[in-house]
Amino acid sequence: MIVSITHGEDIDGIGAQAILLRYFKLKREIESSKIVLEYAHYSNLLEKLNRLLKNNKNPEELYISDLGFNKQFSAVFPIFHQLKNLNCKIYWFDHHIVEKKIKRRLKDSTELYLNDEKRCGAEILKDYYLPEDEIANKIALYARDRDFQLNKIPLAKKLDSLIAFYRGEEYIEQQKKLVKLMSKGVFENKWIKDQLIQLKVLIKAQKDLAVNRVKLIEIEDFGQIVVTFAELGASQITRYIETVLKKPKLFASIDSRHNEINIHSQYANCRNIAAQFNGGGHLNRAGFSYENAVENDKINQKFLDELIGIIKENKL
């Protein structure tokens, strides 16, 4: 059994998995049906790995892509050890900021640990497994366009919005279908078109709600922050709010379906802020979970107070 765990939040996470599937098919003649596709994020990677062990299906190979490392992940080491004892080979491809010490430990615990902050996850996989393949290059290009906010490829943006919407267990089949299509080089077809049409209506409604719910908070010696929520991928909410409001120094959006929070800021260390909530990410954008961040259609005051306190400690 081969297992691929990636984060399913954007085209980089999904694209990395699609490239992996393509590699298996082209170079090792393994069909995608033989590969277990999993999606995880900071809050449930350990849970997914533990489940893998418990199911006792003896994975021969485990691929983790586009997932950073945060403090609570130290529990992955004993899990990796157990997997290794089961003769499982572990590969981890990432581009998040990870401490040198941890990187060394991960290198020692895996068959391969590749981390490059200058490339996105899909690019790292493409360069490693399929550097010459036209379709893998296209996937990596789309992922880079979104991950580095180049915004030059409209189709990448569309696919990214679809992926962001597919977050969560209820859309897992759609997510997998998209990964398989992309791995075959299909980026546009009737199914994708229909999905996009349905999505457009739903997203517009959620974006309007996010704007209506905007909460502006003034933080002394920092400036204004904006917090809002909707039933939409948190990074997608943030991106939209950023086009509506230019002034705030920090944007925090909550995906109220999953209590997942995304923060963007050029003025605060987002990675450190997220780490305080056991999340992670990049310097200027990061994510984490907070149980009941939204309660009875309102942003939880306890969460807001904590967030404000942590922002104050992490000004850039």
Q: How many residues bind Mn ion, per CB under 5 A?
A: 4
Tell how strand 250-255 and strand 223-230 pair up: parallel
| CA 10 – CA 155 distance, rounded (Å) | 13
Q: Which is nearer to Mn ion, 38 or 66 (CB)?
A: 66
Element (H, E) at 92: strand 89-94
| CA 112 – CA 67 distance, rounded (Å) | 14
Q: For residue 278, give the nearest of 64, 101, 75, 71 by alpha carbon.
A: 71
Minimum CB separation of residue 149 from Mn ion in Å reads 12
Q: Which is nearer to Mn ion, 60 or 117 (CB)?
A: 117
Q: For residue 182, give the nearest of 165, 162, 198, 197 by alpha carbon.
A: 162
Q: Which is nearer to Mn ion, 12 or 160 (CB)?
A: 12
Q: For residue 284, give the nearest of 292, 294, 273, 293 by alpha carbon.
A: 273
Query: Using CB under 5 A, which of 9, 12, 145, 231 touches Mn ion?
Result: 12
Residues of this chain, 139-178, that bind Mn ion according to CB under 5 A:
147
The contact pattern for Mn ion, residues 112-141, with x = CB under 5 A and - = no contact, is: ---------x--------------------
Q: Which is nearer to Mn ion, 68 or 248 (CB)?
A: 68
**Which range binds Mn ion by CB under 5 A, 61-69, 85-93, 216-224, 290-298?**
61-69
Element (H, E) at 80: helix 76-85
**Which range binds Mn ion by CB under 5 A, 12-20, 176-184, 192-200, 270-278?**
12-20
The contact pattern for Mn ion, residues 21-60, with x = CB under 5 A and - = no contact, is: ----------------------------------------
- Report angle CA 134, 141, 163 to the nearest 5 degrees: 110
Contacts with Mn ion by CB under 5 A lie at: 12, 66, 121, 147
